[in-house]
């Protein structure tokens, strides 16, 4: 994994956009995440960059540049990120450098200043046309916790430490943060019931995940080695793999997740680039003594040293009653992506190891991010022991699983000494009644 720090990461750089310099801001000048916005109804959506509480219209600000920067900026006149993502790491990096300089307090580019608008006034759209969506299962803590619910005697399958387990999911139901969705209906059968029935899920859950967008495609028939995977990754988002546990438990054998998972997947709107995350690379998760080494095609010394990402991830819940009472959302988990058993590069290497190609706009979910402690578990299945030990909410409510009107909010950020804190913004949605 290349870990190239450059002037765009310099903590001393400040923006002429004052809100970007506020401590704790998710979108300082060192971040520059890409998204898609519509400035006003009737106007076409286009690619923007988040800076403080503003959005820069990238094509309007930088299309007149020469060379790669101009080409990348002109790709931002589109209503999706896909064209920019297809141009490759050199173009992404050149554009990032130009945006960083133009938005800096020293340069304060006049043309940039003219093409900013408040984020609060823009309509924020789904940023990417997703071609394929693959969801991994890369936290050994989650795999063990979840496995215990379904198979108490045999929680971790014997393949887990060799195979980065995944399944192919659905792209049609990917929705952007802020979009409410209906509780799914499905077949569910509790252990006490003789036969299944069809109706609204009684065990609706969230899964706290990181999403990874593929920029550069790979060729059919050509596996991508772990050491080359970084060239294919455009950036990352927060991802909620909503899960109907009762539907999942009844349907998952023998072919795995289907309708228990594919009714909705919420993504955050701002894609934090792999380059912005460079200061927060960490060692890959250390396999405990006695665990087998990955097979050679999934192993890489550089990835072991720098293939992890130290991203703090949090989940908050806000019930309808809490919102009516003016109670702020309450945090129910906090974890780190650095605890994942498999790295992003290993996921790509495994995905392509049989010759399967990856394409511009593919979305790869990490799987639920859980750590060793209960306070770091990334689903209600784990936090409430499948509903048996409900969480207490302010105001006296209890939650085993998600109820109608609940809003689930994910937040993510990176911070460490010597680097500027960057954030992912939010990934949130309210669950509506099945109707
Ligand atoms: Ca998942």
CA of 289 to the centre of ligand 1 (A): 27
- Compute the mean pLDDT over every residue in the chain, rounded to the nearest whole number: 97
CA of 134 to the centre of ligand 1 (A): 9
Instruction: State residue 228's pLDDT score.
Output: 97
CA of 171 to the centre of ligand 1 (A): 14
Spatial distance between the Cα atoms of 435 and 230, rounded to a whole number of angstroms? 44
CA torsion 282-284-289-292 (nearest 10°) is: -170
Q: Mind listing the pLDDT tens digit for each residue in 373-426?
A: 999 999 999 999 999 999 999 999 999 999 999 999 999 999 999 999 999 999
Rg over CA atoms, the chain = 21
Backbone phi, psi, residue 277, to 5°: -85, -5
Q: Mind listing the pLDDT tens digit for each residue in 19-66?
A: 999 999 999 999 999 999 999 988 999 999 999 999 999 999 999 999
CA of 340 to the centre of ligand 1 (A): 13
CA of 34 to the centre of ligand 1 (A): 24
Length of the chain: 435
CA of 328 to the centre of ligand 1 (A): 27
- CA 237 from chain center: how many Å? 3
Check if the beta carbon of residue 51 is closer than 8 Å to that of residue 29.
yes
Instruction: State residue 3's pLDDT score.
Output: 59
CA of 261 to the centre of ligand 1 (A): 8
CA of 353 to the centre of ligand 1 (A): 21
Instruction: State residue 41's pLDDT score.
Output: 87
Active-site residue set: 142
pTM: 0.97
Contacting residues for 335 by C-beta, under 8 A, at least 6 apart: 208, 312, 313, 314, 369, 370, 371, 376, 377, 378
Check if the beta carbon of residue 68 is closer than 8 Å to that of residue 123.
no
CA of 398 to the centre of ligand 1 (A): 24
What percent of the chain shows pLDDT beyond 90?
Answer: 95
pLDDT mean over 121-137: 98
Under the banding of pLDDT at 50, 70 and 90, the label for residue 151 is: confident
CA torsion 103-104-108-111 (nearest 10°) is: -20
Check if the beta carbon of residue 196 is closer than 8 Å to that of residue 188.
yes
Spatial distance between the Cα atoms of 210 and 339, rounded to a whole number of angstroms? 12
Check if the beta carbon of residue 281 is closer than 8 Å to that of residue 306.
yes
CA of 272 to the centre of ligand 1 (A): 20
Residue 191 pLDDT > 90, yes or no? no
* Six token digits for residue 407: 């809003």
pLDDT mean over 299-315: 97
Give the residue among 112, 50, 42, 114 at the shortest CA–CA distance from 81: 50
Residue 293 pLDDT > 90, yes or no? yes
CA of 153 to the centre of ligand 1 (A): 22
* Six token digits for residue 387: 């509903």
Under the banding of pLDDT at 50, 70 and 90, the label for residue 369 is: very high
* Six token digits for residue 79: 């209503």
Spatial distance between the Cα atoms of 57 and 109, rounded to a whole number of angstroms? 13
Residue 1 pLDDT > 70, yes or no? no
CA of 367 to the centre of ligand 1 (A): 4
HEC readout, the chain: CCCCCCHHHCCCCCECCHHHHCCCCCCCCCCCCEEEEECCCCCCCEEEEEECCEEEEHHHHHCCCCHHHHHHHHHHHCCCCHHHHHCCHHHHHHHHHHHHHHCECCCCCHHHHHCEEEHHHCEEECCCCCCCEEEECCCHHHHHHHHHHHCCCCCCCCCCCCCCCEEECCCCCEEECCCCEECCEEEECCCCCCCCEEEECCCEECCEEEEEEECCCCCCCCCCCHHHHHHHEEEEEEEECCEEHHHHHHHCCCCCCCCCCCCCEEECCCEEECCCCHHHEECCCCCCCCCCCCCHHHCCHHHHHHCEECCEEEEEEECHHHHHCCCCCEEEEEEEHHHCCCCHHHHHHHHHCCCCCCCCCCEEECCCCCCCCHHHCCCHHHHCCCCCCCEECCCCCEECCCCCCCEEEEEEEECCCCCCCEEEEEEEEEEECCC
- CA 324 from chain center: how many Å? 29
Residue 164 pLDDT > 90, yes or no? yes
CA dist list (Å): 326 to 261, 318, 319, 402: 32, 10, 11, 20
Spatial distance between the Cα atoms of 381 and 376, rounded to a whole number of angstroms? 13
CA of 368 to the centre of ligand 1 (A): 5
Give the residue among 173, 193, 198, 39 at the shortest CA–CA distance from 116: 39
CA of 43 to the centre of ligand 1 (A): 36
Under the banding of pLDDT at 50, 70 and 90, the label for residue 150 is: confident
Q: Mind listing the pLDDT tens digit for each residue in 200-220?
A: 999 999 999 999 999 999 999
pLDDT mean over 347-356: 98
Check if the beta carbon of residue 157 is closer than 8 Å to that of residue 121.
no
Under the banding of pLDDT at 50, 70 and 90, the label for residue 2 is: low
């Amino acid at each position: 994994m290349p870990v190239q720090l450059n002037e765009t990461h310099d903590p001393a750089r400040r923006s002429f956009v004052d809100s970007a310099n506020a401590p704790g801001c998710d979108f300082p000048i060192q971040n520059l995440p890409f998204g898609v916005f519509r400035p006003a109804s009737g106007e076409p959506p286009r690619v923007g960059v988040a800076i403080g509480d503003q959005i820069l219209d990238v094509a309007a600000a930088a299309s007149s540049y020469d060379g790669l920067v101009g080409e990348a900026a002109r790709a931002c006149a589109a209503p999706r990120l896909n064209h920019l993502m297809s141009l490759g790491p050199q173009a992404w990096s050149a554009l990032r450098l130009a945006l960083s300089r133009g938005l800096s307090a020293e340069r304060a580019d006049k043309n940039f200043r003219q093409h900013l608008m408040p984020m609060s006034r823009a309509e924020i759209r789904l940023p990417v046309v997703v071609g394929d969506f693959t969801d991994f299962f890369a936290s050994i803590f989650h795999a063990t916790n979840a496995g215990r619910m379904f198979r108490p005697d045999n929680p971790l399958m014997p393949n887990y430490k060799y195979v980065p387990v995944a399944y192919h999911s659905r792209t049609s139901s990917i929705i952007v943060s802020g979009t409410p969705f209906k509780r799914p209906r499905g077949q569910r059968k509790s252990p006490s019931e003789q036969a299944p029935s069809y109706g609204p899920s009684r065990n609706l859950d969230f899964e706290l995940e990181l999403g990874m967008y593929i920029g550069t495609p790979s060729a059919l028939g050509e596996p991508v080695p772990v050491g080359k995977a970084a060239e294919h990754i455009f950036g990352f988002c927060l991802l909620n793999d909503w899960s109907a546990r009762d539907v999942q438990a009844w349907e998952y054998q023998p072919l795995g997740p289907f309708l228990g998972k594919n009714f909705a997947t919420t993504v955050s709107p701002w894609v934090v680039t792999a380059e912005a995350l460079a200061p927060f690379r960490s060692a890959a998760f250390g396999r405990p003594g006695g665990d087998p080494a990955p097979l050679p095609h999934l192993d890489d010394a550089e990835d072991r040293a720098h293939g992890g990402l130290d991203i703090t991830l949090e989940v908050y819940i806000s019930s309808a009653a809490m919102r009516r009472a003016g109670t702020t959302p309450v945090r129910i988990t906090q974890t780190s992506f650095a605890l994942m058993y498999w790295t992003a590069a290993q996921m790509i290497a495994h995905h392509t190891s049989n010759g399967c190609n990856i394409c511009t706009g593919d979305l790869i979910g990490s799987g639920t991010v859980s750590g060793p402690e209960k306070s770091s578990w990334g689903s209600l299945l784990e936090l409430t022991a499948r509903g048996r030990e409900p969480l207490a909410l302010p105001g006296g409510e209890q939650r085993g699983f998600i109820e109608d009107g609940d809003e689930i909010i994910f937040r993510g950020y990176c911070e460490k000494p010597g680097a500027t804190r960057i954030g992912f913004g939010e990934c949130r949605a309210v669950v509506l009644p099945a109707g």
